[in-house]
Structure formats: C-alpha cells, structure tokens
Amino acid sequence: MTTEQHARGRVTVERSAKRVRTYVHGEAIADTTHALLVWEVPYYPAYYVPVADVRMDLLVPSDTVTHSPSRGDARHFSVKVGDDERKDAAWQYPDSPLEEIRDAIRFDWGAMDAWFEEDEEVIVHPRSPYTRVDILPTSRHVRVELDGVVLADSTHARVLFETGLPPRWYFPKVDVRMELLEPTDTTSRCPYKGKAEYWSARLGDRVEADVAWSYPTALPESERIAGLVSFYNERVDLVIDGERIERPHTKFS
C-alpha cells in the first residue's frame, strides 16, 4: 500500500490523476483534478470530489442522514439546476473515521446526466485502474454447446481477458447458429466495453434466457469485439481444441 492509498476495514481510498467532471442540464456540478477513488465495494470504485471543486450553490441540504459502518454518518444534499431537483443525489461524511473523505462529496452516479474522465464520457461507474481488458485473436478451435447442440464453432474467435472474470470467447456471427438465438429486450452497460444487446437460446421447448450477447458499437478500447457474439461459459459447454472446459462459477452462474 503506497502513501497515496489508504484503507479502513474493506474501504480503500486512492487519489486519481484524472480530471473528473459531472453534469446536470449542461451545468458542471463538479470539476476536479483531485478526485478520490473510493472502493466501497470490492468490484469497482466510486468518485469522491473535494468540496472546493463542487458547485455547492447547486446543492440543497436535505433532512436525510444515512449510516455506513465503515464511513460513518452521511449528510445528504439534493442537486438543483433550475426547476429540476435531484433529491438526495449527493452526500458527505463530515465526521467519517476515514479522514480523507471528510471534505469530499459523493454523487449518485445515475442521478447525474453525464460523467467525464478527461474529455471522454464514462458510463456505469468509474474505471478501476486495476481492471485490465485484453482482446486477442485466436486460431484455436472453439465450440459452444448447449445440451449437446452446437451454438457456435470457429477458428476465428477473439478472446477477451478481463481482470476478475473468466475468459470470454467472441465469435463472428457467420460462425454462430443465429437461427437458434432469439433477441431479447435485455441490455447492459459496461464502462470498459459499452452497451450490450442479448439473445436467448431456444432448443425445442428449452429456452436458456439471455445466454449470449454482443456489443454492436463497442467503446474504442474494445473495438475488436464489436459485432461479435459471446456466451456465458458459466451456462454453456465450451470445447477448446477438443478439450471440454469446466464451467466457471461466478456471479453469472
């Protein structure tokens, strides 16, 4: 742990070197080069912005007080721009046992209209400096099966390695039996890859819901998987160069 990184319990605090901004109706509610990355949960961080870099004139104190065992009592604010008031969309821990966050404001990510790291918009949550995404082409023979039925078969897949997750194999649609997949209304968003659309697999009366997905227009760092189809290898059988791979156990299992 460096001098710029501190932890208490399961919460870790680290300074970010990025310029961070968040907007409501075109107004910059916060604009800072001194943001804190705070891991309130293990999977990804949240931004805390120093009070000096927040438009406090647009924050209206509310009566709401919430408690965190690790961070203490939070005093909430509503964010008000014109006639639009985002209730309890910001909060502060002025007496937190974590001294670093006492003079910083935490915003509800989804209550804001947009977030930027430098001049690039960021979705879902801040990008963790400890999450890496590598996308590599592979000539390995990769096959996806469900109940013995082949859903995809390719020697032109791309494999995505993301910190903390099993490898994801992405297939050209010409190597996927798209006639066995039915599009659904499900979508998801990832700060590293973009917005995904989903398919369910139908095998007779058997439907495996939302088992496959694709990023039609992936974010620049993930362009190599744009338009390709991947499957949850927690829920299908993956055969690589003739070897059947054990299904991983993750939150998607």
Confidence of residue 118 (pLDDT cuts 50, 70, 90): very high
Query: Maximum CA pair distance of the chain?
Result: 64
Which domains are seen in the chain, by residue range?
5-122 (2.170.150.40), 133-245 (2.170.150.40)
Q: How far is CA 8 from CA 35, 47, 72, 204, in A?
A: 18, 17, 12, 53
For residue range 9-42, what is the model confidence (pLDDT) as tens digits?
579 999 999 999 999 999 999 999 999 999 999 8
For 80, the token pair is 């008000």
Tokens coding 71: 């961070």
Q: What letter does residue 44 receive in the DSSP assignment? A: -
pLDDT band at 1; cut points 50, 70, 90: very low
What is the band of 244 on the pLDDT scale with cuts at 50, 70, 90?
A: very high
pTM to 2 decimal places: 0.87
How far apart, in whole angstroms, are the C-alpha atoms of residue 6 and residue 183?
A: 45
pLDDT digits (tens, 9 = 90+) for 145-198: 999 999 999 999 999 999 999 999 999 999 999 999 999 999 999 999 999 999
Q: Which of 72, 56, 70, 111 is nearest to 88 (CA)?
A: 111
